[in-house]
């Protein structure tokens, strides 16, 4: 991956790279497996830049973790450019390998895609979803891009189906902490971290004397299991979420989908809006 800069001020190359948000780790990697080129000549980070110079930064090649096995299955690609790729994840798939699910993750699927297209990119998951949550996952094609995205605000919108008839709209403001009796489960706790979830009811239906609501949800913070915990907290657990009180005979996973993400691109600062047009959650709601 290469970046080109037209220099307008005199300063040391290392200082310039730091101002461009190159991390110490990235700069160190460039020294060993990359290149810094000024006006066609290879230089070190100690080089003195001057007005009119043309700087080329060739990032170090990365090697995938040996824990990743390429999973060559078709991807539903929602967005792609030289730096990022966004895909639609189905329920019952991990974003990355875990102790209980070593393979067939989104990361391995994207790695298979990269290798099939003969690129040296390595997937770095930016926006993780729970195994049983579906929707948009954003992946960086290099660790440096992942570093830049970690400093970028990403707004996420979800669609969910919950039990009962919720208010037309509301803000759930309730801190979340680890559950004292579980390493996985979270709970609302006054000593937890600040957590805010805004939702709007889109529709409501009643089937076999059971009422369900379809909601659009916006995360104002990003705590683990936040939407699931908050909807349980207000007495309307997500349908299919057996961890948080929403077990359902037909659905073995929570009916929750990330359907839109918005952010400013870390390279060109362009506003990017990615939509997942395939809303399985809405289809399920209409069939309840």
Catalytic residues: 130
Q: How far is Cα 136 from Cα 111, in angstroms, rounded to an integer?
A: 17
Strand partners, 211: 206
d(CA 140, CA 110): 10
Whose tokens are 């979340």? That residue is 176
Six-digit token pair at 127?
């926006």
Q: Please check whether residue 65 is in contact with residue 97, taking contact to mean a CB–CB distance below 8 angstroms.
A: no
Q: How far is CA 128 from CA 15, 70, 88, 132, 143, in A?
A: 33, 19, 12, 11, 16
- DSSP characters over 39-84: TTEE--TTPEE-TT-EEEEEPPP----TT---------EEEE-SSE
Q: How far is residue 107's CA from residue 89's CA, in Å, rounded to a whole number?
A: 11
Two tokens at 72?
């060559």
C-alpha neighbours within 13 Å on the C-beta side of residue 133: 22
């Amino acid at each position: 991956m290469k970046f080109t800069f037209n220099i307008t001020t005199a300063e040391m190359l290392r200082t310039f790279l730091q101002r461009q948000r190159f991390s110490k780790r990235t700069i160190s990697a460039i020294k060993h497996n990359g290149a810094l080129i000024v006006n066609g000549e290879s230089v070190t980070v100690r080089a003195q830049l001057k007005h009119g110079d043309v700087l080329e930064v060739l990032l170090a090649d990365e090697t995938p973790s040996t824990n990743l096995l390429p999973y060559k299955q078709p991807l539903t690609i929602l967005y792609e450019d030289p730096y990022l790729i966004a895909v639609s994840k189905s329920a019952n798939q991990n974003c990355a390998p875990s102790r209980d699910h070593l393979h067939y993750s989104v990361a391995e699927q994207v790695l298979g895609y990269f290798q099939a297209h003969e690129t040296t990119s390595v997937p770095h998951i930016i926006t993780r979803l729970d195994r049983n949550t579906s929707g948009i996952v954003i992946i960086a094609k290099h660790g440096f891009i992942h570093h830049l995205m970690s400093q970028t605000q990403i707004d996420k919108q979800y669609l969910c189906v919950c039990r009962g008839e919720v208010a037309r709209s509301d803000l759930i403001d309730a801190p979340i902490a680890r559950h004292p009796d579980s390493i996985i489960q979270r709970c609302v706790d006054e000593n937890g971290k600040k957590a805010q979830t805004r939702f709007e009811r889109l529709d409501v239906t009643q089937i076999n004397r059971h009422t369900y609501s379809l909601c659009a949800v916006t995360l104002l913070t990003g705590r683990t299991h936040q939407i699931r915990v908050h909807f349980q907290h207000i007495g309307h657990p997500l349908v299919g979420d057996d961890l948080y009180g929403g077990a359902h005979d037909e659905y073995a996973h929570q009916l929750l989908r990330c359907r839109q993400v918005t952010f400013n691109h870390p390279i060109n600062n362009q506003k990017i809006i990615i939509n997942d047009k395939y809303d399985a959650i809405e289809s399920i709601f209409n069939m309840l």
